Amino acid sequence: MAQMWAGRFKKQLDSKINDFNSSLSFDCRMYAEDIEGSKAHVRMLGECGIISKDDSVKIVECLNDIKADIKIGKIEFSGSAAEDIHMFIEEELTARIGDTGKRLHTARSRNDQVALDIRLYLRKEINELKHGLKGIITVLTNLSERHLKTVMPGYTHLQRAQPITFAHHLMAYAQMFLRDIERLSDTYKRMNYCPLGSGALAGSTFPIDREKTSNLLKFNAPTANSIDGVSDRDFCIELSGAISIIMTHLSRFSEEIILWCSWEFKFIDLDDAYATGSSIMPQKKNPDIAELVRGKAARIFGNNMALLAIIKGLPLAYNKDMQEDKEAIFDSIDNAKLCIESFIPMLSTMRVLEGNMRNAAVKGFINATDCADYLVKKGMAFRDAYKITGELVALCISRDFGLEDLAISEYKNFSELFDDDIYHAVNLETCVFKRNSQGGPSPERVLEQIEQTREILKDVL
């Protein structure tokens, strides 16, 4: 078929270059958004008297037919020489209803069209991502509820630090994912402006009604400046940033799952359906899903970098470089969704090895802070109590003891303030359950977090 711009040109575009130039293979996924955008545009054209009502109705009906035909696979994209999804739909429309179809593109450019389509597409995807995160948080709250009293070591520098519960640890991730949902909602808010009517860059001489199209497509308002409307892709960068942060959280969680599965920790056992074996080592059970999630974080960060770099040197307004935005943001969304979908069943089916967690918490002096706090509560200054406890720990290490194993006479050699109640103070359960400060690991406090989280989740679609 002759190219749309054949009037100006003497030759067809070289066919290899046409392939290079075409975005149809990846922007075809926005066909529904492209059609919905065109329908709103053409309705507005009809209502503003820019084209006839009859033509407007005819175009809308045909666009609906095209959408239905694409959906059932009656029309295929492969083999088409169209430059992008926008051209593809317009060509199909014109092939079906002739001259009437040629009126669709009045007062519009592909520049505002593509800026619109991506926003429509990303709005839908943001909601799916939020829904996925809600799924992870739901699993976390349910798991936590069952493990309010499952004591495990809390770490800093990957050294045993202070005792916590498994529920407390899991709910830390729930908080991160809640913020991720909020970040997605913020991104949505800023993205939710309609660029349609910006035209190529300088608006239109036709009496278009931008409020109308913006309302029809459920945007907050039309974009304020027609040059900005077609030039920026900050909303893609922002979404890709939000997804990168989601992946940072998922990757960090994955790292812990990988550690917890190792024989060195053995805090959890993954369900066989969510682990893999080795082709040579018969004993192996590998946490591939978690590793893959950790790995996919890297490509998503790469996409984020690509998006920043695509835009950073572009003069206003549209430049073809911007066609590269789509593969980057689509890849980030697709992979983040895959990660979330795989993570949910992996988490909900894993076996928690409570005994191993507790055993690990017994070793490593994670009750040393509590020993120092004991002295402080008896009147000693914290720094002095800290020093004495350090000496006690050194003594215990030399004897391969725990603080709970030292005789009271030995304690008294270090300070007269020690009494029999020290054993209660350094008891693991006391250490955890008495940490009752807001946000702390005591079962009541964690339950509070679970309840608050569930309350917040109710408002997430």
Residues of the shown chain interacting with ligand ARG in the complex, contacts defined by CB under 6 A: 23, 27, 84, 110-111, 114, 318, 320, 322-323
Q: For the chain, how many helices (H) and strands (E)?
A: 19, 6
**Residue whose CB is less far from ligand ARG, 177 or 235:** 235
- CB of residue 2 vs ligand ARG: minimum separation in angstroms? 18
- CB of residue 102 vs ligand ARG: minimum separation in angstroms? 18
DSSP state of 196: T
Query: Position of tokens 């593509």?
Result: 114
Query: Among residues 106, 97, 76, 71, which one has the least CA distance to residue 88?
Result: 76
- Count Cα neighbours of 123 within 13 Å in the Cβ-side half-sphere: 17
From the number of C-beta atoms within 10 Å of its C-beta (0-12, 13-18, 19+), residue 262 rates as exposed
Q: 217 phi and psi, to 5 degrees?
A: -95, 10
Q: How is residue 374 written in tokens? A: 């004991």
Q: Which long-range contacts (CB under 8 A, 24 or more apart) does 324-328 make?
A: 325/118, 325/233, 325/236, 326/23, 326/26, 326/27, 326/118, 327/26, 328/236, 328/240, 328/303, 328/304
- CB of residue 15 vs ligand ARG: minimum separation in angstroms? 18
**Residue whose CB is less far from ligand ARG, 188 or 330:** 330
Contacts of 426 (CB under 8 A, 6+ apart): 367, 370, 371, 374, 403, 404
Could you tell me if 164 and 432 are in contact, meaning their C-beta atoms sit under 8 angstroms apart? yes
- CB of residue 313 vs ligand ARG: minimum separation in angstroms? 16
- CB of residue 309 vs ligand ARG: minimum separation in angstroms? 16
**Residue whose CB is less far from ligand ARG, 193 or 318:** 318
- Say whether the peptide bond before residue 317 is cis (omega within 30 degrees of 0): yes
Q: Which residue is catalytic, options 52, 262, 278, 424?
A: 278
- CB of residue 268 vs ligand ARG: minimum separation in angstroms? 45
At position 2, the amino acid (one-letter code) is A
- CB of residue 216 vs ligand ARG: minimum separation in angstroms? 22
Contacts of 131 (CB under 8 A, 6+ apart): 460, 461
Query: Among residues 377, 56, 337, 391, which one has the least CA distance to residue 213?
Result: 56
**Residue whose CB is less far from ligand ARG, 322 or 432:** 322
Mark whether 147 is an active-site residue.
no
**Residue whose CB is less far from ligand ARG, 55 or 112:** 112
**Residue whose CB is less far from ligand ARG, 114 or 171:** 114
Q: How is residue 335 written in tokens? A: 């992979």
**Residue whose CB is less far from ligand ARG, 27 or 180:** 27
Computed from CA positions of residues 138, 139, 144, 145, in that sequence, does the dihedral angle turn out positive or negative?
positive
- Count Cα neighbours of 270 within 13 Å in the Cβ-side half-sphere: 28
Secondary structure element (H or E) that encloses residue 303, with its range: helix 288-312
At position 395, the amino acid (one-letter code) is L
DSSP state of 10: S
- CB of residue 27 vs ligand ARG: minimum separation in angstroms? 6
What distance in Å separates the CA atoms of residue 191 and residue 217, rounded to the nearest whole number? Answer: 13
What distance in Å separates the CA atoms of residue 400 and residue 78, rounded to the nearest whole number? Answer: 71
Q: Which residue is catalytic, options 15, 78, 157, 279?
A: 157
Mark whether 157 is an active-site residue.
yes
**Residue whose CB is less far from ligand ARG, 112 or 373:** 112
**Residue whose CB is less far from ligand ARG, 17 or 158:** 17
- CB of residue 352 vs ligand ARG: minimum separation in angstroms? 48
Tell me the catalytic residues.
157, 278
